[in-house]
A and B are shown apart, each in its own frame.
Chain A
Amino acid sequence: MSAGVGVNLENLWIRFGDFVAVRDANVNINGGDFFSFLGPSGCGKTTILRAVSGFLEPSEGNVLIGGNNMKGIGPNKRPTALIFQNLALFPLMKVWENITFSMEIKGASAKERRKRADELLDMIALSGQGDKLPSELSGGQKQRVAIARALCAEPDVLLLDEPLSALDLKLRQHMRSELREIQKRVGITFIYITHDQGEALTMSDNVAVMRAGVIDQIGDGKTIYNDPNTAFAASFVGENNVFRGTVKKVIGDEVMINTNRSGDLMARISSSNVGKMKEGDDAMLFIRPEAFSLAPLGTQGDHFVTAEVHKEEFEGNVFNIFMEGEGGKEMKVSLPNLGQSFESHKGEPMTLEYDVHNAVALPAGVLATE
């Protein structure tokens, strides 16, 4: 369909009194992209969404939609449609009236509205349910009605404020692929707010990771997962094991870190930090649970870690091993279940190996769980 309308945030600041909710955000969202803002609650992601939809005027900076500055343009005049976290369906209107409310405003006849409602109901697989009240629908159906209502307004940009958070896990996973599907079909720009990194990674073309009003990193899911910019992004997106220490030696884009408890370990410097880490700096080394493999016990070297096994878990597709980690925290290792026999090593030391390329070194920073 359409090539899609892009959204740009330029030097966006949003303050509430002394509190800075959004600090100098610069984001370019391509037309037709599925773009997610990912961050813990209170990081300012919903505030950004409200600024794009027009419910909130930024303190400084600009919101551009399709290249047009939206300053002073109210939410009812912007080419955006917002799907609320609680959906905000109108409880006293029938489903078809809910869906076509935006047409009613434009003065479309009941017949036209009914026809469009039936088309959209077909699209969201709710044919023939138009005469029900929202209260007669299940959670997932309400979800789809909210999407249809927003799409009926034919917005250039669809804004979604954690719309899946109220659903149970199964439905949530199903709705993820459905949302992605719908977005591909209508071809408009989706801006999606979530604190669930799984949602962000599976659905989005690009993700912005936010922390305390600051955007730490913007990139596609793979880049964010494999090549985080900051310690926060590394620890918030997916599971990660952290080793703290100081930089001992920098060799090109790799670095040797003298870790507090596992000796000297080698890692790849995250690409945005190449050239910025120098000897003596406080550093953090991140290794994903799935990046480890077993090694002969007691092997020494700059990509081997030995620690005592605390707990073992069989999850089906993986064996999870929780080992003694740093500062009382556990280090998680996930070994794929390839049908190999697996002996318990509980209470015993174990040696693990990793590929230096899969270990990421970053300047020390705030972690997501802290």
Chain B
Amino acid sequence: MPRFLREYFNRNGVGLGSIMLGLVLFWTIGLIILPQLSMLDFSFRPNLPPPEIGGPKDLYTLENYKYLIFGPEGGSQDYNAVDLKVFYRTLIAAVLVTLFNLMLCYPIAYYLAQTNGNHIRILALMLIIPYWINEILRAFALRIIFGESGVLNNLLVGMGVFDTPFDFIRNDIALYAGLGYAYILLMIFPIYNVIESLDRNQIEAARDMGASWTRIHRRVVIPYAKPGISSGCTMVFMLSAGALAAPQILGGPSSLWFTQLIYQQFNDNSDWPQGAAYAVVLLVTCILLVLALMRVFKVNMGDIGK
């Protein structure tokens, strides 16, 4: 038995230790790794009617991946322009949502972490309680606010800002707002956690030496908060890129989210192998993107866990 395992069992006892270990293994292997592996397996198989599954035609193929890039065989175009466009637009939008979220949440997290008093607890509660409402209802609430005859349009037209109602939904503003709002807490809390442990004297020391607020943030607070920022950004990016409810409800008619394509393949076309291939491409691209950005910003994997 390796040493860390022996230490683990010494600390927790054999009974409790086995139960905890069993649950963790079941969670990671049974609920995450095996289903993903089976999706990976699906993605390399042809879409066959049930009787032919396991038959002579059930051979591994790259067909599903080719489809994303080149479209249907003998199609009119050289590339699957429609799906590819949705794919990169989803990624870009997810990056934008993440950046927007960061700009919004960093000041809030800083304020929460560096201010004392009861009102901070109330503020935190006000941030948390809306999340008791489920995601779909929150998305519909935003639709009501942003709709053509919604609260916001009534207000803006009433104030004379616009002559005619502005179509927030067709212009994707509702979608960005919805996605941004959906993951605010996942951005705020990791940053809050890190900044809370920042010694306030460091801020005062920088200030005492004549630093402006922007410089204090750039040189002292943000470098310190980097693990929290990267952890928050990773989560928000991954979840936005993989979101389904918000794009479904708040997206304009012309703007599909890549997850909606995946959903269509699984559900409407009953083409699980094709859906699986799309899902694998999204997952792998997102992971690679995150790893590349972590390299650029010199973030370690261990920092993400902070």
A residues engaging B (CB < 8 A)? 53-55, 74-77, 80-82, 84-86, 88-93, 101-102, 104-106, 149, 153
B residues engaging A (CB < 8 A)? 199, 201-202, 204-212, 215, 219-220, 223-224
Q: Is the CB of B205 within 8 A of A105?
A: no
The complex places the Cα of A106 from the Cα of B210 at a distance, in Å, of: 9
The residues of A that contact B204 with a CB separation of less than 8 Å are: 55, 75, 82, 84, 88
Centre residue among B201, B207, B208 by max chain A CB count within 10 A: B208
- Given contacts A82-B205, A84-B205, A92 and B210 within 8 Å (CB-CB): no
Partner of A76, one of B202, B211, B219, B224: B211
Q: Is the CB of B210 within 8 A of A90?
A: no
- Given contacts A75-B204, A84-B204, A90 and B219 within 8 Å (CB-CB): yes
Q: Is the CB of B220 within 8 A of A82?
A: no
Interchain nearest-CB distance for B115 vs A (Å)? 16
- Given contacts A86-B199, A88-B201, A88-B202, A105 and B215 within 8 Å (CB-CB): yes
The residues of A that contact B208 with a CB separation of less than 8 Å are: 53-55, 75-76, 80-82
Q: Is the CB of A84 within 8 A of B215?
A: no
Q: Is the CB of B224 within 8 A of A92?
A: yes
Centre residue among A86, A88, A153 by max chain B CB count within 10 A: A88
The residues of B that contact A105 with a CB separation of less than 8 Å are: 209-212, 215
The residues of B that contact A81 with a CB separation of less than 8 Å are: 208-209
Q: Is the CB of B205 within 8 A of A153?
A: no
Partner of A101, one of B209, B223, B224: B209
The complex places the Cα of A54 from the Cα of B224 at a distance, in Å, of: 25
Q: Is the CB of A84 within 8 A of B201?
A: yes
Q: Is the CB of A77 within 8 A of B202?
A: no
Q: Is the CB of A101 within 8 A of B206?
A: yes
Partner of B210, one of A84, A86, A88, A102: A102
The residues of B that contact A75 with a CB separation of less than 8 Å are: 204, 207-208
The complex places the Cα of A104 from the Cα of B211 at a distance, in Å, of: 9
- 6 pairs of A and B residues whose beta carbons are closest in the complex: A88-B201, A88-B205, A102-B209, A76-B210, A84-B201, A92-B223
Residue of A nearest to B199 (CB): A88
The residues of A that contact B215 with a CB separation of less than 8 Å are: 105
The complex places the Cα of A113 from the Cα of B81 at a distance, in Å, of: 54
The residues of B that contact A55 with a CB separation of less than 8 Å are: 204, 207-208
Residue of B nearest to A103 (CB): B209
The residues of A that contact B210 with a CB separation of less than 8 Å are: 76-77, 102, 105-106, 153
Residue of A nearest to B215 (CB): A105
The residues of A that contact B206 with a CB separation of less than 8 Å are: 90, 101
* CB<8 Å pairs between A and B, sample of 24: A53-B208, A55-B204, A55-B207, A75-B204, A75-B207, A76-B207, A76-B209, A76-B210, A76-B212, A77-B210, A82-B205, A86-B201, A89-B202, A90-B202, A90-B220, A92-B224, A93-B219, A101-B206, A101-B219, A102-B210, A104-B219, A105-B215, A149-B209, A153-B209
Residue of A nearest to B209 (CB): A102
Interchain nearest-CB distance for A146 vs B (Å)? 9
The complex places the Cα of A74 from the Cα of B204 at a distance, in Å, of: 11
Interchain nearest-CB distance for B217 vs A (Å)? 13
The residues of A that contact B211 with a CB separation of less than 8 Å are: 76, 101, 105
Residue of B nearest to A91 (CB): B224
Interchain nearest-CB distance for B153 vs A (Å)? 44
Interchain nearest-CB distance for B195 vs A (Å)? 14
The complex places the Cα of A77 from the Cα of B201 at a distance, in Å, of: 17
The complex places the Cα of A102 from the Cα of B209 at a distance, in Å, of: 5
Residue of B nearest to A80 (CB): B208
The complex places the Cα of A316 from the Cα of B219 at a distance, in Å, of: 52
Residue of B nearest to A78 (CB): B208
The complex places the Cα of A93 from the Cα of B221 at a distance, in Å, of: 12
The complex places the Cα of A153 from the Cα of B211 at a distance, in Å, of: 11
Residue of B nearest to A161 (CB): B201
Residue of A nearest to B201 (CB): A88
The complex places the Cα of A92 from the Cα of B221 at a distance, in Å, of: 10
The complex places the Cα of A315 from the Cα of B242 at a distance, in Å, of: 75
The residues of B that contact A102 with a CB separation of less than 8 Å are: 209-210
The complex places the Cα of A74 from the Cα of B205 at a distance, in Å, of: 13
The residues of B that contact A90 with a CB separation of less than 8 Å are: 202, 205-206, 219-220
Q: Apart from A76-B211, A101-B209, A101-B211, what 6 extra A-B contacts exist at CB < 8 Å?
A: A53-B208, A75-B208, A88-B202, A92-B224, A105-B209, A105-B215
The complex places the Cα of A92 from the Cα of B227 at a distance, in Å, of: 13
Residue of B nearest to A101 (CB): B209
The complex places the Cα of A101 from the Cα of B204 at a distance, in Å, of: 13
Residue of A nearest to B206 (CB): A101
The residues of A that contact B220 with a CB separation of less than 8 Å are: 90
The residues of B that contact A54 with a CB separation of less than 8 Å are: 208
Residue of A nearest to B202 (CB): A88
The complex places the Cα of A288 from the Cα of B212 at a distance, in Å, of: 52
Interchain nearest-CB distance for A93 vs B (Å)? 8
The complex places the Cα of A34 from the Cα of B298 at a distance, in Å, of: 45
The complex places the Cα of A88 from the Cα of B203 at a distance, in Å, of: 9
The residues of A that contact B205 with a CB separation of less than 8 Å are: 82, 84, 88, 90
The residues of A that contact B202 with a CB separation of less than 8 Å are: 88-90
Residue of A nearest to B211 (CB): A105
The residues of A that contact B223 with a CB separation of less than 8 Å are: 92
The complex places the Cα of A76 from the Cα of B208 at a distance, in Å, of: 5
The residues of B that contact A77 with a CB separation of less than 8 Å are: 210
The residues of B that contact A93 with a CB separation of less than 8 Å are: 219
The residues of A that contact B224 with a CB separation of less than 8 Å are: 91-92
Interchain nearest-CB distance for A113 vs B (Å)? 13
The complex places the Cα of A77 from the Cα of B202 at a distance, in Å, of: 17
The complex places the Cα of A54 from the Cα of B207 at a distance, in Å, of: 10
The residues of B that contact A74 with a CB separation of less than 8 Å are: 207
Residue of B nearest to A93 (CB): B219
The residues of B that contact A106 with a CB separation of less than 8 Å are: 210
The complex places the Cα of A76 from the Cα of B219 at a distance, in Å, of: 16
Centre residue among A54, A77, A104 by max chain B CB count within 10 A: A104
The complex places the Cα of A318 from the Cα of B208 at a distance, in Å, of: 46
Interchain nearest-CB distance for B104 vs A (Å)? 25
The residues of B that contact A84 with a CB separation of less than 8 Å are: 201, 204-205
